[in-house]
Structure 1
Amino acid sequence: MLRKVSKTTAISMALTLVLSVAALFGAGPFPVPAVSAATLNFEGETTANTTSGITTSNSNDSSASGGQYLQTSSSTAVGSWVEFTVNVPAANTYSIEFGYKQNTGRGISQLSVDGKSQGGSVDQYASVAAFTSSDLGIVSLSSGSHKFRFTVTGKNASSSSYAMTVDYFKLTSAASSSDYNVKDYGAKGDGSNDDTNAINSAIAAANAAGGGKVVFPTGTYSTRSIHLKSNIQLYINTGATIKALSGIDSPESNSYDNYQDFGHSHWHNALMWGENLHNVKITGTGTIDGNGVLSTSDNPGSGQGDKAIALKLSTDVEIGGLDDAHRLNLQRFGHFAVLATGVDTLNIHNVHVPNFSSGQRDVFDIMQCNDVKVTDIYSENSSDDIVKLGSDYSLGYKRPMSNIRVDKVVGLTNCNVFQIGSETAGDISNVHVSNLTVLGAGKAGFSISVNDGSIVDGVVLDGINTMTGTTAPIFIEISNRGRAPGAGVGKIKNVTINNVTATNAKSSNGEYTSRSPASRMATERITRKILRSTM
């Protein structure tokens, strides 16, 4: 059922049932090299399993781990599951890597361990068959028998089936010899001592050893800028807080900062930052607190900083907690909780943003990145976008952005819960968003705003989406702001919006506007199904 989605003054658009979305992906694993580690590998085709009643079979493939993989039949439906019983010889904390084969007829699965949901959902759909893997977080296991159940929760709109595959799942426990406790390097964790040098020394030592886990035990670690390095995991324990001190690094120069706001143009003025890195994790169940030192202003003062985490031109990055009940907390983070620019293979999951009335602007700004997953986010309050995808000119060139998966975002904001834009210099494609729960939004629950000449192609909103107290639940706009060299009028095409229920909307069910007469025919193939709204 579709009612009153666009205003009479909106762009003239052809509504068809055409959708073209290329391969979505499963974010790869993020292993941290260790001095030694125990790894338990369980093959899908040989590990003992039971099912909900569906049929499984083993298929041969030389690219599979062990030369075979398990797959479920085409009769697989939502709620179908395969459960593996495994023996863990030693109690420990393990990271979970899940390997599977993508294809056009694959569903979305969710892992549970001993009955508790673990990690983010995995969409196995892709337009081209390929083996890949996803990091499903960290779990603490006792020695003995444990049950790993993969349950089908849905499917991509482009998928022909709910079937799923299991190539393998792998449990890796880092040995204690790879842990670098910041207190061993002089950190006090008393909330008053400046622990900057101790923290950066622990990171440097782990990096020099080839990689490792830098551990923050219970305590409050007051620090200026933390300098991230490759092959490092920062692990923030429950009861541990990393708290910003005045004296954050100064912003670096940028010849292209006139094309976007100050915050998007600089990375060094952050509580923690890194450039040209590989294999970085910031995980745990503790807190990263800007402490009023990180500014939401477009012109922060000297030593103030304006973001919690900044990463530039890096690969294989993970930021998040363990599961829905054990989240990483980001608070009072200034302009951005996370600014990722030119980062490929980025996994953000199980993050909580507490309810602070000020000091929290954009939560996740993901700029010209590829192969991104953002899942299981709960943001109680922010003054700007919660999940924002964009492509600006801060790198001095237009960098395309593709293969983005956003799922299970719950939030309240003065702006948009999810937005593509407004920075849109480079093209953005293959974006799959699902299961948005909007508790209130000063603008929209779901927004696409093309302003700087890019083409946005292949966007899906599906799952179960509920939106309360928005100005417009769905907002799509094209303008000709031109904040990039040679920018013209952009285009939005191949968008599907499914299953949205909106209540207490301040405007119509959806608003589609154009600020430029030249852009009025720049939208193609926008499909909307089952959009319900009450004012």
Structure 2
Amino acid sequence: MKALLFILIITGIVNTAAAQQFNVKDFGAKADGVNLDTKAINDAVEAAAKAGGGTVYFPEGTYLSFSIHLKSFITLYFDNGATLLAADSTADGKYDAAEFNANDKFQDYGHSHWHNSLIWGDSLQHIAIVGTGVINGKGLRRNASERRPWGNKAIALRLCRNVIIRDITLLNGGHFAILATGVDNFTVDNVKMDTNRDGIDIDCCNNVHVSNCSINAPWDDALCLKSSYALGYAKPTENVTITNCIVSGYDLGTFYNGTYQRNEWKKVPDKMGPTGRIKFGTESNGGFKNISISNCVFEYCRGLALETVDGALLEDVVIDNITMKDIVNAPLFLRLGARMRGPAGTPVGAMRRVNISNINVYNADAHFASIISGVPGNDIEDIQLNNIRIVYRPMDSVTTKIPLIVPENEKDYPEPARMGIMPAYGLYIRHVNGVSLNNVQLSYSGVETRPAIMIDSVRNAELFRIKTQPVPGTGNIILKNVENFSIKNSEGYKDKKIKQSSSTAL
């Protein structure tokens, strides 16, 4: 442990002036998975805090606990073989009560409260949760409320700074395995999760690095950027890097045990198939700015979703080197909507300057295509798709009725399935000003009756080196209400510029 302590000191995780180790067993923890260790753990944390900071050490064993109260300059270190097990609320104890939040009407219950969690910290600095042990939120419940004071989240942090979560494994994390709201200078690295709802929610945070994580979240999003109104004001999530991560939607627990099963997709709460994706939104009051996502893998889950529907500005996003396989809805979903869940008078938001490059998708669900959609009067702006290849699997029935008009549904919850079957198999673009497609290849297996691309109510669209698998008896690119459209150097298409057209088939 001296070597461990030295590493923690030189990396700045603990206060170098007062670096000490506090073994929870020395404070009475039984680590037998039967007796509650809540008091012993919190006593160890309190002692470390009074000493000016240090490492609260969990040796091998199973620690049954309710709420643990983090303090500044504290590291929780879970050694190999150590498991922190969330207790189920019983007559013998319960989690801390959810704190009052006057702004809870603007986001789901789970986003509005932090204290009703297994590990929580509020207005802290220089904290860490590290080690090769396990945090198992078995006793946590998503539907905690004032009437049902169960534990809601595994780790919840509010208004903290200089935070590190590294190397741990998180199982059954409750509503969120990690909820970070208003957390700045935040690093999550080499974390493994197999969890029953959201994996990591990064809400109203600044200067965030997520790397080398594997997150299986079949019933909700794996890694979700949000900008809610939970703090009582609009604060953007900005300056974020996400790299070298794998997200998936295998049956709960089968990522952790290595069997990777795909049999329980009907258990997903919205009945729309496994989730497990990287997403921006839906809570989107404060905005998303200066985000980079790179070198990530999606498997058996929903596609990448960028959503702003509550008045937020989403801008300056770069996404690069993504591979996807067995995607259950739209591989790419960019949605500017007008749900407007926030303070009255907030205007519709904006989405602009998004660059998506080097994306390879195989066996995606053809019902939904990839979707880029604003709303009437509020165009998405300046979108670039470069070096994209998507192969769609056959629809379940070639006789499925395909609507000619896609409903706007601008006030609806933003989810590809709620927009219905797309009238194009590959790419559907609507209400966009400025979109560039370069070296985009779209193809399908089986039988198709729809065009590859539909562009509707779009200005300033440039297509270069486009390759689409043709569909017999139909145009492969359908244009409706376009201004300033061009296509060049594309296989099977003549170079063409169109200044304005209400209806054209290419």
Of the three residues 186, 191, 195, the one matched with 2:28 is 186
Partner of 2:154: 308
- Indicate yes or no: 2:356 matched with 1:497: yes
* Aligned-residue offset at 1:470: 3.3
Where do 1:383-462 residues align within 5 Å? 383-413=219-249, 414-441=274-301, 443-444=302-303, 446-462=304-320
Partner of 2:331: 473
In 2, Cα distance between equivalents of 1:336 and 1:402? 20
Of the three residues 198, 207, 220, the one matched with 2:49 is 207
SS in structure 2 at match of 1:472? coil
In 2, Cα distance between equivalents of 1:298 and 1:534? 41
* Aligned-residue offset at 1:299: 4.5
Partner of 2:472: none
Letter matched to residue 438 of structure 1: F
Higher strand fraction: Structure 1 or Structure 2?
Answer: 1
Compared CA separation, residues 366 and 506, structure 1 to 2 (3 A)? same
Partner of 1:343: 183
* Aligned-residue offset at 1:276: 0.4
Provide the alpha-carbon RMSD of the alignment: 2.5
CA contact (8 A) 1:248 1:269 kept: yes
In 1, Cα distance between equivalents of 2:153 and 2:387? 38
In 2, Cα distance between equivalents of 1:136 and 1:176? 12
Partner of 1:353: 193
CA contact (8 A) 1:261 1:298 kept: no
Letter matched to residue 379 of structure 1: I
Q: Deviations for 1:75-105, whole angstroms, at most 9, x for unmatched residues?
A: xxxxxxxxxxxxxxxx66653899xxxxxxx
CA contact (8 A) 1:256 1:393 kept: yes
Q: Looking at CA atoms only, which structure, 1 or 2, has the larger radius of gyration?
A: 2
Further displaced range: 478-487 or 184-193: 478-487
* Aligned-residue offset at 1:303: 3.4
Letter matched to residue 531 of structure 1: I
Q: Deviations for 1:280-328, whole angstroms, at most 9, x for unmatched residues?
A: 100111111111x21123758633121000000110011121xxxxxx1
Letter matched to residue 179 of structure 2: L
* Aligned-residue offset at 1:353: 1.4
* Aligned-residue offset at 1:534: 1.0
Q: Deviations for 1:393-451, whole angstroms, at most 9, x for unmatched residues?
A: 1111111221000011112132252111111101220000011211111x32x110110
SS in structure 1 at match of 2:148? coil
Same amino acid, percent of matched pairs: 38
* Aligned-residue offset at 1:479: 0.8
Partner of 1:95: 7
Structure 2 length normalisation: TM-score? 0.68
* Aligned-residue offset at 1:382: 3.1
Letter matched to residue 190 of structure 2: N
Where do 1:366-381 residues align within 5 Å? 366-381=202-217
In 1, Cα distance between equivalents of 2:110 and 2:72? 24
In 2, Cα distance between equivalents of 1:420 and 1:449? 5
Unaligned runs of 5+ in 2: 250-273, 393-506
CA contact (8 A) 1:432 1:459 kept: yes
CA contact (8 A) 1:494 1:524 kept: yes
Aligned length: 361
- Indicate yes or no: 2:436 matched with 1:524: no
Where do 1:19-30 residues align within 5 Å? none
SS in structure 1 at match of 2:346? coil
Partner of 1:273: 120
In 1, Cα distance between equivalents of 2:235 and 2:332? 27
CA contact (8 A) 2:315 2:351 kept: yes
CA contact (8 A) 1:93 1:173 kept: no
Partner of 1:102: none
CA contact (8 A) 2:215 2:276 kept: no
Partner of 1:255: 102
Where do 1:90-169 residues align within 5 Å? 94-95=6-7
In 2, Cα distance between equivalents of 1:196 and 1:173? 24
In 2, Cα distance between equivalents of 1:225 and 1:499? 44
Partner of 2:65: 223
Of the three residues 48, 69, 84, the one matched with 1:242 is 84
Unaligned runs of 5+ in 1: 1-36, 39-90, 99-134, 138-171, 322-327
In 1, Cα distance between equivalents of 2:291 and 2:112? 24
In 2, Cα distance between equivalents of 1:298 and 1:489? 32
SS in structure 2 at match of 1:95? helix
Letter matched to residue 95 of structure 1: I
In 1, Cα distance between equivalents of 2:126 and 2:297? 31
In 1, Cα distance between equivalents of 2:67 and 2:4? 32
Letter matched to residue 503 of structure 1: Y
SS in structure 1 at match of 2:231? coil
Compared CA separation, residues 231 and 527, structure 1 to 2 (3 A)? same
Letter matched to residue 96 of structure 2: D
SS in structure 2 at match of 1:534? strand
Partner of 1:113: none
In 2, Cα distance between equivalents of 1:237 and 1:379? 21
Q: Deviations for 1:183-227, whole angstroms, at most 9, x for unmatched residues?
A: 001111011111001000000010111100000000000011000
CA contact (8 A) 1:312 1:340 kept: yes
SS in structure 1 at match of 2:197? strand
CA contact (8 A) 2:18 2:53 kept: no
Partner of 2:427: none
